[in-house]
Structure 1
Amino acid sequence: MARQLVSFGTEGTVFGREGAARSAPQPAMPAAMAVALVAFEGIRKSGQGATPALSWLELGVGRGEVATLLGPAGAGKSVAIDIAAGFIQPDAGQVLMKGERVARLPPWRRDIGLVSTQPDLFPDMTVLGNVTFPLEARGTARAEGEERALAMLARWGIPASLGAARPAALPPGQQLRVALARALVHAPSLLLLDDPLRALEAEDRDTLAADLLRLRAELGLTVLHATRDAALALALSDRVAVLEAGRMRQWGTPRDLYDSPADPVVAALTGPCNRLSGTVVSIEDGACHVRLDCGLGAVGLPVIGAEGSPQAGGRCTLVIRPERVAVAPLSPAELGGDAVPARLLEARFAGDHLRLRLLIGQGGELLVHRPIGLPLPETGGEASIAWDLSAARVHAGG
């Protein structure tokens, strides 16, 4: 069944455009109720070829929480959204909503709202008709339904004067706002967002994300959101699950993922980072001494790694964010401390900062974000760097 033909809620019926109603059997009541509003327990789903669509997904989204599935194309984000919505069934594991198993519940029985990458509005209905539709499907009187629909449209910044317009007459940002109003007008317990902000221009995306956070508080929304945009995921979410190739690599707060990524893959997927390969010289009292392949050494690095800690003599990867590296047009002796000689290869303007590319050691490259207005070396000239090793992490492998 096409997503746009489904009206979700708690009434136990679904109405297609012709108004035909269908029902579904109730699932068995579990022995224990889950704490999370929606929980994925050991979810697996086969994909095409050798790579599973989801090899393992275990997480719970609390009531009132905004949780995001973050990952590149093919990571399994949309598959997880479709499983939560009931469009597809997992090969193993189960989904719980409000503590109840929902494997036997079709989409229209799951008390959800859904907005996909495309708004999927009914093209032959007016804006008001689109938003009123879920209420009419539940038997709400027309006058009351239109009043509630207009109120929800107003919350999303759509004036009543556009109620008679067709969706195609609106710009993409307003179409998405109409789709969000339609998904929420019947007050579902869970809002599923399958990367709907992806196609918007940056300004529209930021404004709509801010409105979503505002309405999240006003309406008491619980949101499960999928995106490949790291900045959006970190700014919008209470917690983020990083997915890659069907596997959940880390689940935590945005700060946890950004400051303490479980591995270099998570580091790269959550924002700009430097990844420098090397060899572990020794590990003493939890501090890692590393010799980088470019010839530089580093001491006192925190050790972290979900796939096993680095071992003395083993290969490793040092991860550090660009903003954690300082650059100065000075010699290492002048800069002092553990300063390292470097050469500026390139400087590019990036709005609120400069993006620098530096050469360190023998062939090592480092990306550095430098605030505007601070002194810089000449391109091609000598410089020094000082990195905040307390913010660096060492991971096994490299």
Structure 2
Amino acid sequence: MQRRQFLHHAGAALAAASAASVAGCARQAILPKSSTPPLPIPAARMASGIAELAPIKAQTDRITGVYVCTRPFRAAGPRVEAEKLDHKTIVHNYGHGGSGWSLSWGSSALALRMAQATGVRRIGVIGCGALGLTSALLAQRAGLSVRIYAKALPPDVLSMRATGLWTPDSRICDAGHADGFASRWEDMARTSHAMYQNLLGLPGRPIEWIDGYHLPGASPGQGEKVSDEPDYGDFQDRVHDLTPRSITLPAGSTPFPGPVRRYTTMMFNISTYAHMLMADFQLAGGHIVVREFTHPRELLELPEHTLINATGYGARALFNDSSIIPVRGQTARLIPQPEVNYALSTDTLGVVPRSDGLLVQAFGATGDFNNSDRTPDRAASEAAVRQLAGIVASMRNS
């Protein structure tokens, strides 16, 4: 995830599709930017005019794990299309870069429409990550019988290693394909965001809104542009009406030593959220078969005539799709701190306050693009935590 993803706060607020058909989603009217007033700092979080923020315990001995994922980037954007494989129809739904969770419901709604067009009453879904689970649930809600086939289940799928912020255009396509993909992206983003609004306030807080603080100049670095990565498509202006605008807070109004930008974003508590999706699927009568596929012809053995392929980065090997480029990402997870309810970012560092642990990620370095190595680099994560410790030490209430 790039630094700008902490600063752009995309969201959506359009009506969700009905259980029988997720195809129809009304677009909300675009609001003038000036009509969204800055959010005041809640009085309960103020002490003598200074926002109260619990300090993060940034210590390397509090690291509970270091996790690496390979985000499936495609220059042209996600592959959501149907193709024939002998007597079966395969609906592909993969290649979402760093936006898999964020776009999952909208992308899966599009894939489901393609699957429904075949006229079948039961389908198979290949993969049990963000796109596989949402595809399966939407199919169930449309009245279809669904079976998931997957070589791994949560928490052992790569989707579980995402940071958990709403980042709907993170590495979603390159700038050269942005114009042609923009409308489809907006439909996906708005449909997904509408669904997430219906998941707020549930037990375990699978989805919640949080504030974040960006500290400009808090650390040296290249900023958001990484030299060995392409220019990515940027679509945030298409949904600027859907989230609160960021504001500059002056020095002295927060525990940080200088002025900061405060933003509001949506966060997924991925452990809780994935558990909820799995439970919902199984309670609705869904079946899961643990099975690994190594060649498309093995799909011909399955009883379902229509399949949704949601294998993410795995589609590169399974379907020999060289258009998928792995983009390596690594996070360290610290022991949870329920009192820390804010995100934090600098030019080279990000912190996400998930309920299953504080995620610390360093970014801005070269070498991650087209890098499929999933070997954790603990030294790099410890350096990021020490960098965070320096920021915490500068806070007034630390």
**Using CA pairs below 8 Å that are at least 6 residues apart, which structure has the higher relative contact order?**
2
Q: Tell whether the structures are fold-level matches, with TM greater than 0.5.
A: no
Per the normalisation by structure 2, the TM-score is: 0.21
Structure with the higher strand share, 1 or 2? 1
Rg comparison, structure with higher value: 1
Per the normalisation by structure 1, the TM-score is: 0.21
